[in-house]
Amino acid sequence: MIVSVIMPVHNGLWTVDRERDKREGQEGHSELLGGRRWAAPTSMFVMSPGMGGDFEIFGRGQSIDWTNSGSRFMLTSVIMPVHNGLRIIERAVSSLRGQTLDDWELIAIDDGSTDGSFERLLQWSRQDDRIRALRTEQNRGPAAARNEGIRYARGEMITYLDCDDEYYPDYMETVSRFQSKGDVLVFGYDVFDDGNPEKPIQTWDPAPYKNILFAGNVAAPLGVAHRRALALEVGGFDEELWALEDWDLWRRMARTGAEFLFLPFRSGLYHVRKSSRSRSPRLTDKQRIAFQSRLVTGSSLYQGSRQADRGIKKVVLLTSLFPFLARCAAAGDFAGAAHLLSRSGFASQAFCPSKWDADSNGDFECALSDAGLPFQAQDTTLGPHAARMIYTRVGGIPVSIFRTHSAQHAEYRNGEPGALLDYFEKFLLTYRPDAMVALNPGPQPDLVFDLMFHVGKGIDIPTVLWLGDEVAVNLTVMQNVDYCVVSSEFLRRQYWEVIGLACQTLPRAFDWDQVHLPRREPQVVMVLARDRSGESLVAGKIVEKLNRSRPDIPVTLLGQDWKVRRPILGAPAKPASDPVSPETRLTPSQVYSAAKVLLVPSLGHALFDRSVAEAMINGIPVVVGERGALPEVVGSAGLVADIPACYQRDSTRVPNADDISPWVDAVIRLWDDSRFYDQISAECIARSQCWHPDRVTPIYADFFRNLRPQPGPPLVPKWSDAAARRLDLGGGRG
């Protein structure tokens, strides 16, 4: 049996972000439940077989007797990608030439170097018949180079050596000794920080993490040897990945049932370099073109990933309970999505950790009773920790609430997060979901949330992060996310251009029976201001001018959570018991039943307001600002009024009468011109059909049915050219 060693060379690549780990108090390897963070080291980039047309092959290995029948060891082949590695490649090649086993071949792939690396490889190939040099004029990344090396390798086993690393003298001999014992051999290795030579060498031992291969990358290519035929069977490295392409390959190998053998030996010395790609990631031209094309169409970032059809039927929703009950914007989409999935034959369950409801004081039983929902409670223990499981149904969706005894306190007790994660893992293993979806908790770090995604990823479950209406996300959790979902093309464009996050758009999900009112008594203009800063000042000025110019038009100003901020202006005096009085909280049904026109003078830049869509469903003409996603929401229906740019959400400037005149004029025309009113109302109803369950359900079903564990997170490094990140994604009004 021949063993091939592959060595990519691109400025010496693949390093651990040691300084970041030190800052975060995680000295040593970046570990998360035994796995590495996606930003931590792994090899970089790949190439599919059959793309060697632009390679030249050099060396004189053809005349060698590769069988070496006089040795009890079979030939070991070796592969090395190289890009501008002249300064550091010497030690790597020397470590290979100094092996105790002489029967090996080195396939060195020069990946578009400009520093003389290829010429040095040619010198070695002339001196040593075991060395072959390949060259490509264009830099395609180490993954593509490794794939080319696998293609040209003549050995039955493959090992990897980056140009900045080095083998220990007996590594080839050890690989040959155990090559018949497993399909994939996994070794430990030592880690040396070239930028801090006084720092002690640390050893990475992947063996303790052999059971959580899907949760994190257990080893760099330096520590992995595998059968060549296995790599060809799964398609080699995925060249579209800009990071973690080695972990993706190990996972695809594992899904075939390949036997992984973790050995108590070290392969060599892994060098950490400040200039490595893992610290300064960049895209190849091929990756950039592929990503840009998929971003424009809104398809999955890694559309070409090679996974078998999983036939998704069951979905787990991670959410907090109280927004779920209150139908807040994002949670309302969440519950609506679950309802749509159930209509398509999917089974959904919700799991609610108590700490995600920090304002509830842990009184879940009372909240469920107030909502009229029956429930069952069961006390349980997980090791030394006591907890209570509460089971209920919300809109037909089974909900499991994990309530710890410290639920009324701001922090978990020691050990409680571990107990929660243990229970959640048992929950997943029992229910066996085919996908896991969670609401984005916001930009602040949430270790428990991150680890729950980590647990799901470790079981090889596709994970979906449902993003809200602001461009705010904790990027730490992205290491365990396969897909990100937003509700508008505007928001999708914002996430990409601001942080390089590739999202997919799903239309808003509404419970039509709950939102649509068969009978209405429209009589009031409703003005909605979501906060008490700049938007409140604009909304208040609109109400004031309407009251002065048209006192016959009743107007109600609504604030957060549908609270009435002012009484109806211009209407006859009401008795004190009148329900529409200051600080009265109206229900959405009360608002849509009474509203003749809805004004939303939003000053936000990425907001999809459910109230606008729900008003349109009920045929209520809406007037919105031109910022953010609202023009996209109303499309060709409704009216868009201008708000000068000098007014921002945190502004304290009071608008003058001219600035808000377009809003007042729109209201007056709708109030006085019945034909115009009926036209806009009909257009709103027609536009709202884009959210009707009959249209939305197939879209959701298609999305969830085609979910696959992705080879990497939907996040890419920023282009060097900021203008290249701006995409014409279409959308907008119409």
- Span 464-488, pLDDT tens digits: 998 876 677 777 788 889 999 988 8
For residue range 181-219, what is the model confidence (pLDDT) as tens digits? 999 999 999 999 887 888 889 999 999 888 888 888 899
Cα–Cα distance list, 674 to 545, 639, 678 (Å): 22, 16, 6
608-613 mean pLDDT: 84
Question: Which pLDDT does position 681 carry in this prediction?
Answer: 96
Give per-residue pLDDT as tens, 219-244.
Answer: 999 999 999 999 999 999 998 888 88
Encode 284-313: b = buried (16+ Cβ within 10 Å), e = exposed.
Answer: bebbbebbeebbeeeebbbeebebeebebb
> Residue 250: pLDDT band by 50, 70, 90 thresholds?
very high
Give 597's strand partners: 525
The dihedral through the CA atoms of 679, 682, 683, 684 has a sign that is positive
Over its C-alpha atoms, the chain yields an Rg (Å, rounded) of 30
More confident residue, 720 or 98: 98
| Residue 310: per-residue pLDDT | 58
pLDDT at 252: 94
Choose from 19-28, 340-349, 429-438 the range with maximum mean pLDDT. 429-438
What confidence score (pLDDT) does residue 362 get? 56
| Average pLDDT of every residue of the chain | 78
pLDDT, residue 73, reads 56
**Considering only 23-32, 440-449, 651-660, which range has the smallest mean pLDDT?**
23-32
Whether the predicted pLDDT of 574 surpasses 50? no
With bands split at pLDDT 50, 70 and 90, how would you rate the model's confidence at 439?
confident
Q: Which residue has better confidence, 16 or 190? A: 190
pLDDT at 605: 65
Question: What band does 277 get if pLDDT is binned at 50, 70 and 90?
Answer: low
Pick from 56-60, 141-145, 305-309, 514-518: least confident: 56-60
Show Cβ contacts of residue 721 under 8 Å, excluding neighbours closer than 6 positions.
Answer: none
Q: Given this model, what pLDDT does residue 334 score?
A: 67
- Of 411 and 62, more confident: 411
At 231, list the tokens: 């790599």
Q: 369-390: per-residue pLDDT in tens? A: 888 889 999 888 777 777 888 8
Residue 8's nearest CA partner among 179, 191, 134 is 134
Predicted confidence band at 583 (pLDDT cuts at 50, 70, 90)? low
- Choose between 298 and 530: higher pLDDT: 298
Query: For the chain, what are the domain ranges?
Result: 3-281, 314-466, 518-694
For 63-82, what is the mean pLDDT?
59
- Please give the average per-residue pLDDT across 150-165, as a whole number: 94
pLDDT at 43: 27
Inter-CA distances, 120 with 127, 467, 535, 689, Å: 11, 51, 66, 66
Helix (H) or strand (E) holding 724: helix 722-725
Identity of residue 488: S
**Are 3-281 and 518-694 in the same CATH fold?**
no
Give the residue with greater pLDDT, 62 vs 335: 335
Q: What is the third-level CATH fold of 518-694?
A: Rossmann fold (3.40.50)
Residue 721: the pLDDT is 43
Structure tokens at 484: 């990100």
For 22, list phi and psi in degrees, rounded to 5.
-65, -40
Average pLDDT (533-552) is 88
Instruction: For residues 341-359, give the mean pLDDT.
Output: 76
Q: Are strands 260-272 and 166-167 parallel, antiparallel or unpaired?
A: antiparallel
Helix H segments across 4-63?
A: 18-23
Q: What is the pLDDT of residue 622?
A: 95
Distance (Å, whole) CA 686 – CA 704: 27
Residue pair 711/306 in contact (Cβ under 8 Å)? The answer is no
**Which carries the bigger pLDDT value, residue 536 or residue 154?**
154
Res 535: pLDDT: 82
Whether 41 has a pLDDT exceeding 60, the answer reads no
Q: Is the pLDDT of residue 294 over 50?
A: yes
Q: Which CATH superfamily is domain 3-281 in?
A: Spore Coat Polysaccharide Biosynthesis Protein SpsA; Chain A (3.90.550.10)
Q: Is 220 left (phi over 0), alpha (psi -120 to 50) or beta?
A: beta
Mean pLDDT of 55-82: 52
* Mean pLDDT computed over 647-663: 85
pLDDT(367) > 90: no
Contact 278, 42 (CB under 8 A): yes
pLDDT at 705: 86
Average of per-residue pLDDT across 568-580: 39
Structure tokens at 7: 């060595």
* pLDDT beyond 60 at 557: yes
How many CB atoms are located within 10 Å of the residue 496 CB?
Answer: 22
pLDDT of residue 224: 96
Average pLDDT over residues 100-109: 94
Residue 678 pLDDT > 70, yes or no? yes
What integer pLDDT is reported at residue 68 of this predicted model?
A: 36
Residue 491 is predicted with a pLDDT of 86
pLDDT at position 57 is 39
Are the CB atoms for 449 and 441 separated by under 8 Å?
A: yes
- Pair of tokens at residue 144: 């593509």
Indicate whether this model's pTM tops 0.75.
yes
Tokens of 89: 């490649």
Residue 353 has pLDDT above 90, yes or no: no
Q: How many residues does the chain have?
A: 734
- Rounded to an integer, what distance in angstroms lies between the CA atom of residue 32 and that of residue 38? 10
Residue 80 pLDDT > 50: yes
Task: List, edge to edge, every strand of the sheet that includes 595-600.
Answer: 555-558, 524-528, 595-600, 622-625, 639-641
**For residues 649 and 456, which has the higher predicted lDDT (pLDDT)?**
456
Whether residue 37 has pLDDT greater than 70: no
* Predicted local confidence at residue 22, as pLDDT: 36
For residues 23 and 172, the answer to whether their CB atoms sit within 8 Å is: no
Please tell me the predicted confidence (pLDDT) of residue 550: 93
What pLDDT score does 71 carry?
A: 39
Range 314-466 classified under CATH 3.40.50.2000: yes
